[in-house]
Amino acid sequence: MEESSERVEAGSSGQCSDRQAVLNGDVMDESHKESHCSASDHNPPNTDNSEESKEYDDDDERTLPLRDFYPYIRCALCNGFLIDATTITECLHTFCKSCIVKHFFYSNRCPNCSIVVHQTQPLYNIRPDRQLQDIVYKMVPHLEEAERTQMCEFYKARGLAVPKPVAVTPMVPVKAPKQKKDLLPQSVFTIPPELDVSLMLEFVGAEEGIENYKPLERKYVRVSGEATVRHVELFIRRKMELNPEWQVDVVCGEHLLDRYQSLREVRNTIGESGLQVSERRDLHQFKDGGTNHG
């Protein structure tokens, strides 16, 4: 009986110890879970935030509304997308070619800024903008194809041949031909053929009491044969700053020339001998070189 009681007590004590171990194990597991949860609360994972930021970056790169570009790719006259984009050179505003041509039928001002494009011919100051037109076709899907189809239908309905697109040829730089070193350099100045008489002016002397005149800076003068002796007189008066009271006589050899006689007549009648110009209050002489044919 004593042995059996001891066994019972031992068994009961073993069961209690097992229960305690189980309970302690449960408590430890729960405390471990609580500590794990508390740690996870302090340091939450970043998986959700990274996904949201990634989605935000993708949206930021991908979505730009086309309407934000309407001021740059639409015509202000027809309110449609640009077709045959044409730019005004004076203000750089762009419209459809057909729209701006129709507008210039009744106005010479820009539809946007009202600047005068040209007083009489505004079509002179417009240029095609092919780069902008390519951008419009790339931004608006099927616009180019729809425009080409509509153009073909327009010409076919009227029995006309569909025009082919103009091929833009690249600009090829042209090399200037090399000049030969043996050739003499050409003169920069060309003398007009109507200036066919050359004069050489030379001072001879002055009468006493005539002073304060300016010497001629240029001795040689080339004039037209239609010029008269009066023109030579006025030229000398202006260049030498002569007193208007002084008299100027033009002498060829010993011949006093009429002031209304042309220099071509003098050359034909008297020959290419020296002209002599005299200026006087009473008498003041200058010598003028001969007239030479151009």
Q: What's the CATH code of the domain at 226?
A: 3.10.20.90
Q: Report d(CA 214, CA 242) in Å as an integer.
A: 8
> Crossing angle for the helix pair 263-270 and 229-240, nearest 10 degrees?
120
Question: Is 168 within a domain?
Answer: no
CA–CA dist 174, 59 (Å, integer): 50
Is the torsion defined by CA of 166, 167, 172, 176 positive or negative? negative
| Residue 12 domain flag | no
Where is the domain boundary, 157, 185, 217? 157
Predicted confidence (pLDDT) at residue 203 exceeds the cutoff of 70: no
In a domain, 256, yes or no: yes
Q: Are residues 141 and 222 in the same domain?
A: no
Residues 146 and 204 in one domain: no
Confidence at residue 241, expressed as pLDDT on a 0 to 100 scale: 77
**103 located within any domain:** yes
Closest CA to 269 of 225, 203, 216, 223: 225
Sign of CA dihedral 228, 233, 237, 239: positive
Are 152 and 201 members of one domain? no
Domain presence at residue 21? no
Q: Check residues 3 and 153 and name the one with the higher pLDDT.
A: 153
pLDDT category, 285, cuts 50, 70, 90?
Answer: very low
User: Could you give the number of structural domains in the chain?
Assistant: 2
| Residue 8 scores a pLDDT above 50 | no
Residue 288, pLDDT score: 44
CA distance 277 to 288: 6
53 pLDDT more than 70: no
As a whole number, mean pLDDT of residues 192-212 equals 66
- Both 147 and 202 in one domain: the answer is no
Per residue in 61-115, pLDDT tens?
667 888 889 999 999 999 999 999 999 999 999 999 999 999 999 899 999 999 9
Query: Angle at Cα 216 formed by Cα 215 and Cα 218, nearest 5°?
Result: 150
Distances (CA, A) of 119 to 98, 110, 122: 20, 12, 7
In-domain check, residue 241: yes
* pLDDT value of position 194: 62
Is 214 contained in some domain?
A: yes
Q: How many Cα neighbours within 13 Å face the side chain of 67? A: 0
201 & 288 share domain: yes
Query: CATH code at 134?
Result: 3.30.40.10
pLDDT for position 39: 42
- Token look-up 């002569």 returns 242
pLDDT in tens, 123-148: 999 999 999 999 999 999 888 888 88
**Residue 80: which domain range?**
69-157
The pLDDT of residue 253 is 66
**Domain check: are 87 and 145 in the same one?**
yes
Same domain, 205 and 284: yes
